[in-house]
Amino acid sequence: MRVTGSQLVAEILLEHEVDTIFGYPGGTILNLYDTLYEYRDRIRHVLTAHEQGAAHAADGYARATGKTGVVFATSGPGATNLVTGIATAFMDSIPMVAITCNVPDALIGRDAFQEVSITGITIPITKHSYFINRIEDLEDAVRNAFRIANSGRKGPVLIDITKDVTADTINYKPGKPLPLSPAPSFSEEDLRSVASMINSSDRPVIYCGGGVAASHAGEELIKLMEKADIPAAYTLMAAGIVGYDNPRNLGLLGMHGSIAANKAIDQSDLVIAIGARFSDRVALNPNKFGRRAQKIQIDIDNSEINKNVLVDIGVTADAGEFLKALLPLIKKKKRTDWVEKSTGWKNTTGDIKEGDAALHPSEIVDVICSNTDKETTYVTDVGQHQMWTAQYLRYDPNNKFLTSGGLGTMGYGYGAAIGAQIGEPDRRVIHVTSDGSFHMNMNEACTAVSEGLPIITVIMNNRVLGMVYQWQTIFYGKRYSATTPERKTDFPKVIEAFGGKGFTATTPKEFEEVFKKALKEKGPVWIDCVISEEERVLPMIPGGGTVEDMIIG
Amino acid sequence: MDDKIRKEVISILVDNHSNVLTRVSSLFGRRGFNIDSLTVSATNDPKLSRITIVFQGTEQALNQILTQTAKLEVVRKITPLDKKNSIYRELLLIKLRADKTERSAIREIVEIYRGKIDDLSRSSMIIELTGNSEKIDGFMDIISCYDILEVCRTGITGISRVDEALME
């Protein structure tokens, strides 16, 4: 069948069961949007306020549903506005296909209106990218984009198509998605060495990361914890995998991690890193991280082995596949003393309350938990509120926790929440943000209103740029440079003006009342929660430090 | 792994597309690896090119280069070319100020190194020399007592002596 380049893109999206995309139209991508009009009964296009919001929405959609997030943008500023969203997905290994259109091929390289080399700009933040100026190359590029985005360590792929190609025609024969590249294979010897190290260890600790989530290996992980009686600490990217109630849960690891998690790593004789990369927010001092321990690292990305911390055994493998094969070789063993000792260090950060406000971050998260179930998706922005949410949430493994871990993108939250809610309309989506982060992307309220999304946004409003303010308090002698903006934003009024509903809360009781009201709303709700600017995220290990440098209160 | 800084030659077989060199070299740049030299050349397969990179770093850095580069979609194969089992060659073109009084002495040196005089004018000459880097360095050392006007070195290209070809 003879199709245009635009129709070819739409057909291949359908082959990959893409029924939802996020984006923003413009001059060079007009042909593709004209085709979307034709396919509107099969492909839902969600228009955002800004391309960055669209990229974060595609990312949130991918994290929530496990499918590939797809985002469209026009050339020039449309494409550059995607950059932060693509980089966010890249750092957190989220499968995404970004399709941009560029000026017609005849104008390429002439600094034409809205021309930018987006493939050049995105080389460092994509797994791969395609610049397509011949229709013969289009089909391969789109098919391979989906293969690459989902193979091995997942991530974003960008396809930049010149406008003439979107109008040109070619013969198209329906096809199937390309098979994914197989996960790296591991040897019997790898399995036996890892098993014997675990079996002979007295004080092992599991350190699990986003690779466990990406591989859907939570169940296997918990089986290993139970069979060998091993406590587990998790990174931000694996928050929720080990349920809050799990007796072997040590909590969040790293800079703002729990005392138990950090101390257990420090005291252990074997660190088992699964799908984790010893980042500088976890292994704050790479030379002293787990200094008494032998180290095992299992990661699907070969280049992560020995990148930040040298390990005794590194295995390149999919976390789930490896754990499944490993479990039969693991001896059932009780390590009661070690588990009791390490989990006994669990810190009661829930009691840390600072400043003179009547509402504290831990109380906000507590009310959210008490009024939502295990089928809830929590989304955060970036900063203090993100850490408080990660620390205090009483996760169930069925909960989903969406957050920008690697890139730490302020402004990620609302777009991601919109993507998550669109991907799973029946799930409750709670978006926790702060006045600082939210000022970066609250414009997406118009999208939530247009689409009728019942996302509840909880704003931890301390009127300062809290995380930087906290560092200035602790390390810069309270010299508050550019963190006290004296903004007068009335959040409830803003959301009312957008066409949603707004509330304010100054006490836990008030917050619970309005949160319950918010749960009954059909559209977006914002709850402005007034907290003190003196609240800090604790505990805290300063960059480069160890558990001994931990600031507790 | 030891922390010794070593010099490594890496041979990379890549797709012969536009932008491929940018992808490879920008990876080196953003990961903080120093490239001493880089050559790109055609192979017997028109779809593939060969990049030869010389870089200095620790064993850990080398390992990172190999694994990070291997992740690029355009990279078909990547292998370090170890010194024992490989042949490295480099081409030098050098322009010297030389009048008739100096010509014969220079010619003698060029002959010892099995170089070639490519061009001659009243006041200068251009010499061509091929060899491994040590030979070129040695020649440069000797010739530096003359007035050097311009130097071009291609950087190393290399091939493994092992029978198995570095193909896909």
Instruction: Provide the 8-state DSSP code for B120.
Output: E
Query: Tell me: the pLDDT tens digits for A154-195?
Result: 999 999 999 999 999 999 999 999 999 999 999 999 999 999
Domain parsing of chain A, residue ranges = 2-171, 188-347, 361-530
Q: Quick one: closest CA in B to A302, which residue?
A: B67
Q: What average pLDDT does range A95-109 have in this prediction?
A: 98
Q: DSSP letters along A238-267, please? A: GTTSS-TT-TTEEEE-STT--HHHHHHHHH
Calculate ∠ Cα A402-A404-A408, nearest 5°: 155
- A133 close contact with B: CB closer than 8 A: no
How does strand B6-15 pair with strand A270-274?
Answer: unpaired
The pLDDT value given to residue B33: 85
Q: Whole-model pTM above 0.90?
A: yes
Q: Which of B1, B3, B67 to mutate to test the interface with A (most CBs of A within 10 A)?
A: B67
The CATH architecture that domain A188-347 belongs to is: 3-Layer(aba) Sandwich (3.40)
The pLDDT value given to residue B168: 47
**Is A499 within 8 Å of A522 (Cβ atoms)?**
no
Q: Which of A128, A144, A302 sits opposite B67 (nearest CB)?
A: A302
Instruction: Provide the 8-state DSSP code for A371.
Output: T
Q: Does this chain's domain A2-171 share its CATH topology with A188-347?
A: yes
> How many Å lie between the alpha carbon of B77 and the closest alpha carbon of chain A?
15
Euclidean distance between CA atoms A156 and A407, whole angstroms: 14
Is there a contact between A128 and B73 if contact means CB atoms under 8 Å apart? Answer: yes
**Is A423 within 8 Å of A67 (Cβ atoms)?**
yes
Report which of A332, A374, A466, A451 is spatially closest to residue A61, judged by C-alpha positions: A451
SS3 A404: coil
Q: Which two tokens stand for residue A157?
A: 């792929």
pLDDT band at A356 (very low <50, low <70, confident <90, very high): confident
* CATH number, domain A2-171: 3.40.50.970
Neighbours of A235 (CB within 10 A): 29
Residues 6+ apart with CB under 8 A from B57: B5, B6, B8, B33, B34, B65
Active site residue A467: yes
Higher pLDDT, residue B17 or A252: A252
Q: Select which of A52, A72, A154, A163 is catalytic.
A: A163
- pLDDT of A75 > 60? The answer is yes
Q: What average pLDDT does range A302-322 have in this prediction?
A: 97
Which residues of chain B fall below pLDDT 70?
A: 164-168
- Asked if this assembly's ipTM is beyond 0.85, the reply is yes
- A151 close contact with B: CB closer than 8 A: no
> What is the pLDDT of chain A when averaged over all its residues?
96
**A418 sits in which H/E element:** helix A413-423
Fold of A361-530: Rossmann fold (3.40.50)
Active site residue A163: yes
The pLDDT value given to residue A161: 98
